[in-house]
Each structure stands twice: as structure tokens, then as C-alpha cells.
Amino acid sequence: MKIEMHVHTGEGSFCGKVPARDVVRQYAGAGFDAIVLTNHYGAMIVEGFEHEAIGKWESFGESPKERSERYRLAYELARAEAKSCGLKVFYGMELTLTEGVEDYLLYGIEEDFVLNYPDIYRMTLAKVADICRREGIVLIQAHPCRDGYPGFSRECRLQPAEYLDGVELNQSPDHGNNNEKVLDWIKEHPEKLVTAGSDYHKPHYLGCGWIETRRDIEDVHGLAECLKTRQYDCYSKAAGRLTSYLDA
């Protein structure tokens, strides 16, 4: 299966510029079998903000139920659209913790994850790692060496390997991903997983990076297990099959 692992939509991420239904149609038309919806979950998204360079974003609410329903909205819209075009939509998350600017992709989460952990973005990475291991969730650091945004955030830094299941080779065309640094880290930590994704926000991000699994995936648990057992390959639109532990 050809799976896009990193997708944002306008309903769930202030940086996402395309509605969920349109994202589904675009990926189905591009020949993908599935996408993982990884909208942002962090203080800015959940609690709302107003920024001169970005605008205003309304909060997800105070209660766990409100936050859960608001976060799931884009997923439900995408899944409804996917029924008509044969694309599978898997539930996921890009989590940003208050302790830093780094982001983490969570694969294998259930639809009640936000309901159960509405304030997870205020936890430490060590605590999040404990939760993920307990619940069988794969924890991947997203774009771990990405450049910062002047006046908004500093550059991302690789976090301690003990807390991570792996790292992402982000293929977004508009970010300074510094993947050569990520590859150096991968060589130092061959036991860790590697994923690839487009970090889709706008139409021209479509299909810049993905994975191809060696068996069909039916649900988020199957996806997490496929990652853990390394039954997949990473690809880039620009470079083809990516160098990783899979080449060892």
C-alpha cells in the first residue's frame, strides 16, 4: 500500500490550507491507497491564539469532550469523503509539547485519544513516551532538524533517542529540513525507525514523500505493527527510494 504519513487539513491545523474533503480527493486522484491525518495538537491549537503574522485561531474548548470532538472533526470529514473514492483514512496526530518547539508524530492512536489525554501537550516527552509504549503507539520525531521561522520559533533539535521510536525524513518542499543531519543520526541509531511524509499543507505538497507497505493495512493498529516490524519502504518524489536502515 502507498501511504501518505503526514497530512494537515484546514479544519484541524491553522497552517493547513486545504479542507479535509479536498485533501482526500487529491490523494485518491494521485494513486495513494491511504493517508494518515496528523493534524496539530498543542497549546496554540488547543487553547487558541492571535498572532500578527498568522491571524486568529479559536480554541478547541476547555473540556476533554469539546477538545476531542474538535480534533476529530477533520478526520470524520475526511473519512466520510473517503467512502466514495476508495481511499483509507487513518487517525493520527502531530503533537507539540510546551517544553519545546519540536513536533512528534503519533501512529496507532485510537479515536478517543484526546478524550483520554486532553492535556498531553503539557506533559514531558518522557511521560508521552511512557504513554505511547504502554498503548502500543509509535512515537516519531517529525522534521527533527527543520529550520526555525524568524520571529516565530527556533530550529528543531533531535531529542534523546531513548524517548523516540524513530525519526521522519520530511519531504516538504517549503521547509529547510536538513535531512542530511537526520541521516547522520539514523546511522548512529540503526535500531530506530525511519518514516517519510510530505507534511501536506498546500496542494503543491501532494505526494512529496510516503511509505509503501509490504502488506495491506486495515486500521491504525495494523499500521503501528507494520512500522514496528519494518515491513515498509520510504520514498521521496524527488529522490525515489530513500536511504535508511531498509538498505542495510
- The DSSP letter of residue 120 is G
Per-residue pLDDT of the chain (248 residues; tens, 9 = 90+): 999 999 999 886 666 678 999 999 999 999 999 999 999 999 988 998 776 656 676 888 999 999 999 999 999 999 999 999 999 999 999 999 999 999 999 999 999 999 999 999 999 999 999 999 999 999 999 999 998 654 556 688 999 999 999 999 999 988 889 999 999 999 999 999 999 999 999 999 999 999 999 999 999 999 999 999 999 999 999 888 985 444 54
Beta strands (DSSP E) in the chain are 2-7, 34-37, 40-41, 49-51, 55-57, 88-96, 103-107, 138-141, 166-170, 193-197, 209-213, 232-236, 240-241
Ranges of H-type helices in 83-124: 113-116
Beta strands (DSSP E) in 24-130 are 34-37, 40-41, 49-51, 55-57, 88-96, 103-107
Cα gap 43→185, rounded to integer Å:
28
Spatial CA neighbour of 107 closest among 49, 59, 37:
37
pTM: 0.93
Domain count, the chain: 1
| Domain extent at residue 76 | 2-247
Q: How far apart are the first and last CA of the chain?
A: 22
Longest dimension (CA), the chain: 48
Which cell is 31 given?
494513486
CATH number assigned to the domain comprising residue 169: 3.20.20.140
